[in-house]
Chain A
Amino acid sequence: RKEVEQDPGPFNVPEGATVAFNCTYSNSASQSFFWYRQDCRKEPKLLMSVYSSGNEDGRFTAQLNRASQYISLLIRDSKLSDSATYLCVAGFNNAGNMLTFGGGTRLMVKP
């Protein structure tokens, strides 16, 4: 079982739609969580951190459910430029301070 699991998609949605991604993590001791965005064959870029209280940045809302060990990302009013792969990431502050990446969920927003 992968430590961080995501539905690979693709999610094909029309412009203006609301789309939600979920991600589950297996390490209950994980302490930090993120969503990264990756365009095709380019470097991942931090989209937002995820907090237990939930956080919002414009059209993007991220939530963390520690009891069920899942993280969600909601994108409202989708734009063509939102087309990308979204990576879910869980961090654990052990000796290695490692981040574990999910395989990514591909989003395609169509006109």
Chain B
Amino acid sequence: EAQVTQNPRYLITVTGKKLTVTCSQNMNHEYMSWYRQDPGLGLRQIYYSMNVEVTDKGDVPEGYKVSRKEKRNFPLILESPSPNQTSLYFCASRSGAATNEKLFFGSGTQLSVL
């Protein structure tokens, strides 16, 4: 089944403790992206990747890192999480760069930073 898999689904952590949210897709998609969703603000893009070893900042990249060593994986790294990073996070992928292609989302990660 074609899908984007994120883990974990829920995560509670404390300020400053490094964490990684994993994202994997099995559709051989070139484009992958991370979003955060906060009430009233919609989804905002954190980072995106057009292909292996090609990553770039989205609208809200501060406090986050990503890597794209393999085509299928695009982990989101919070080196020193802070309470303002408490949010619902979604990984997404699509086959190519064009925005008119369907975007597939993972099931989300609810992160709470205490």
Task: Write the residues of chain A forming the contact surface with B, with a CB cutoff of 8 angstroms.
Answer: 2, 4, 8, 31-32, 41-46, 49, 87, 91-93, 96-99, 101-104
Task: Write the residues of chain B forming the contact surface with A, with a CB cutoff of 8 angstroms.
Answer: 31, 35, 40-45, 48, 50, 56, 58-59, 88, 90, 97-100, 102-103, 105-108, 110
Separation of A41 and B39 alpha carbons in the complex (Å): 11
Main secondary structure of the interface of A (DSSP, over half): loop
A-B contacts, 24 of them at CB < 8 A, read: A8-B40, A32-B98, A41-B88, A41-B110, A43-B90, A43-B106, A43-B107, A44-B43, A44-B105, A46-B102, A46-B103, A49-B100, A87-B43, A92-B99, A93-B97, A93-B98, A96-B48, A97-B48, A97-B50, A97-B99, A98-B58, A99-B99, A102-B42, A103-B40
Contact between A98 and B105, CB atoms less than 8 A apart: no
Pair count A-B, CB < 8 A: 59
Contact between A44 and B40, CB atoms less than 8 A apart: no
Question: Least Cβ distance of B5 to chain A in Å?
Answer: 11
Contact between A91 and B99, CB atoms less than 8 A apart: yes
Measured CB to CB, the nearest residue on chain B to A98 is: B45
Separation of A6 and B98 alpha carbons in the complex (Å): 24
Question: Least Cβ distance of A48 to chain B in Å?
Answer: 11
Most B C-beta atoms less than 10 A away, residue of A32, A42, A43, A93: A43
